[in-house]
Amino acid sequence: MTGFLMRRFAAMIALLLVISFVTFSLFQLGPADPASAACGQECTPARVAEARVALGMDKPFLSQYVSYMSGLLDSRLVGAPGAQTVCEWPCLGKSFQTNEDVTAIIERALPYTLSVASGAIVLWTVVGVGLGLLAALRKDKFTDKLIVGAASVGVSLPIPVTGLLLLLVFVSTFDVLPFTTNEISSPFGEAGPGGWFLNYLLPWVALAVLFSAQYIRVTRGNMLETFGEDFMRTARSKGLSRPGIVFKHGARAGITPVVTMLGLDIGLLLGGAVLTEQIFSVPGIGFTAVRAAQAGDLPVTMAITMMAAFFIIVANVVVDAAYAVIDPRVRVS
């Protein structure tokens, strides 16, 4: 097990390096010219060249990459020669727009994304797995058809549609919930857990509608497959009661693929719930990424892309490890 984790860890580092390099190359080779973007509206070729030097873009490509990556190990100096400023470790460069440390920008945005993600994940897991299990237990009965039907609708509702509908109904028309504000970023702040909860309820529901629907389908399908397994028949043959059969023998095997799916979704969501954050104006990672991309703010976009990749890769490793814990057949002896 330890050896397995070590190998996975080494592979993870290698993969991150590759991804960082590819991302870096893409931004370099892309059509956007950070230098002209950085020097603003009224730009002369001379000022673009100046900006190019200031951004370090006059150096060869590889040395730019190495210098960028060195910021992950130690603080480094950025900016034009003579006007250099210190970028504290861990340094991901400075924003073209505000000249702020990218790390600080991410640190500011991350709590919002965590708030959106955490509640949504809990909500969709409870609803999706619960209803999926219920549907499997009531296969072909009315309850099952109702749940499956609702899931089919949920899957086809994109977040902008659900989000806007929720805003229209609960905020504009009935005014029972507040419009999301960027003053609350954690349940431990001034607004308290209640305020935090109400503030993020709508984004959670918007995300949960889509994700629950997927989880219902996967849970139901896996549970039904598990119910057909030989070991379920054995459990019945022992004289176990129905809850014992369903939960102890069925759920553990049937839920396993859902656990791995959940791990990957969490990884994905921590990279920013772009649409949700846009619609509810939550200044999280996704929101920041969109703004940065629109403005051609290379360091911010680059950093967020790498961070998203990081979360997804970490989630993959966690999922593999979780799978080995759940399923003894996967463990390496």
Partner 1 sequence: MTPLLQVTDLTKHFPVRGGAPGSVAPIFAGPRRLARTLAAPGKDPSSSATRDSARHAESTHQTPRSDPQTSARHPLGSSLLRSQRGLIKAVDGVSFSVDAGQTLGLVGESGCGKSTTGRLLMRLLDPTSGSIRLDGQEIAELRRSGLQEYRRRVQMVFQNPSSSLNPRQSVGSAIAAPLLAQGIEPPGGVKAKVRDLMDRVGLRPDHYNRFPHEFSGGQKQRVGIARALALDPHLIICDEPVSALDVSVQAQVINLLQDIQRDTGVAYLFIAHDLSVVKHFADRIAVMYLGRIMEHGPTHEVFGAPQHPYTRALLSAVPQAAPDADRSGRIRLTGDLPSPADPPSGCVFRTRCPAYAQLGAEHQELCRTKVPHRAVACHHTELVGERLRTAVAATD
Partner 2 sequence: MATTPQGSTSTPAPMLDIRDLRVSFPTDDGVVHAVNGMDLTLARGETVGIVGESGSGKTVTSQALMGLFKDTSATVTGEIRLDGEDLVPLTEAQMRAYRGKKIAMIFQDPLSAMHPFYPVGAQIAEAYRVHNKVSKKAAAAVAVDMLGRVGIPDPARRYSSYPHEFSGGMRQRAMIAMALVCEPELLIADEPTTALDVTVQAQILDLLGELQSETGASVIMVTHDLGVVAEVCHQVVVMYGGECVEQATVADIFRDPRHPYTQGLLASMPSLAGKSERLAPIPGFPPSLLALPDGCLFADRCPQTHLVPDQACTTTRPTLTGGAGSASHPSRCHLTLTEPVREVAR
> Based on CB atoms, which residue is closest to partner 2, 7 or 242?
242
- Dig out the tokens for 74 from the structure: 């130690």
Whether the CB-CB separation of 99 and 105 falls below 8 Å is answered with no
CB-count burial class (<10 Å; 0-12, 13-18, 19+) for 333: exposed
Residue from 37, 135, 209, 261 that binds partner 1 (CB under 8 A)?
A: 261
Residue from 78, 206, 253, 298 that binds partner 1 (CB under 8 A)?
A: 253
174 interacts with, out of partner 1, partner 2, none, CB within 5 to 8 A per kind: none
Residue numbers at the binding site for partner 2 (CB under 8 A): 229-231, 233-242, 244, 249, 252-253, 326-329
Total Cβ atoms within 10 A of residue 54: 20
> Based on CB atoms, which residue is closest to partner 2, 237 or 294?
237
50 interacts with, out of partner 2, partner 1, none, CB within 5 to 8 A per kind: none
Q: Based on the shown chain and the rule CB under 8 A, indicate whether residue 125 belongs to the binding site for partner 1.
A: no
Q: What residue ranges in 74-208 does DSSP mark as E strands?
A: 76-78, 85-87
11 interacts with, out of partner 1, partner 2, none, CB within 5 to 8 A per kind: partner 1
**Shortest CB 253 distance to partner 1, Å:** 5
* C-alpha separations of 254 from 23, 319, 324, 328 in Å: 38, 16, 15, 15
**Shortest CB 241 distance to partner 2, Å:** 7
324 interacts with, out of partner 2, partner 1, none, CB within 5 to 8 A per kind: partner 1
> Based on CB atoms, which residue is closest to partner 2, 99 or 241?
241
Write the interaction track for partner 1 spanning residues 265-304; mark x where CB under 8 A is met and - where it is not: ----------------------------------------
Q: Based on the shown chain and the rule CB under 8 A, indicate whether residue 329 belongs to the binding site for partner 1.
A: yes
CB-count burial class (<10 Å; 0-12, 13-18, 19+) for 26: exposed
Whether the CB-CB separation of 216 and 147 falls below 8 Å is answered with yes
Q: Based on the shown chain and the rule CB under 8 A, indicate whether residue 197 belongs to the binding site for partner 1.
A: no
Total Cβ atoms within 10 A of residue 77: 13
Q: If we measure between CA atoms, which residue out of 66, 60, 67 comes closest to residue 84?
A: 67
Whether the CB-CB separation of 200 and 138 falls below 8 Å is answered with no
Distance of alpha carbon 98 from the chain centroid: 25
Total Cβ atoms within 10 A of residue 138: 15
> Based on CB atoms, which residue is closest to partner 2, 6 or 233?
233
Instruction: At 186, give phi and psi (nearest 5°).
Output: -155, 155
> Based on CB atoms, which residue is closest to partner 2, 195 or 257?
257
Q: Based on the shown chain and the rule CB under 8 A, indicate whether residue 113 belongs to the binding site for partner 1.
A: no
Where on the chain is the footprint of partner 1 (CB under 8 A)?
3-4, 7-8, 11, 222, 225-226, 229, 253, 256-257, 260-261, 264, 316, 319-320, 323-324, 327, 329-330, 332-333
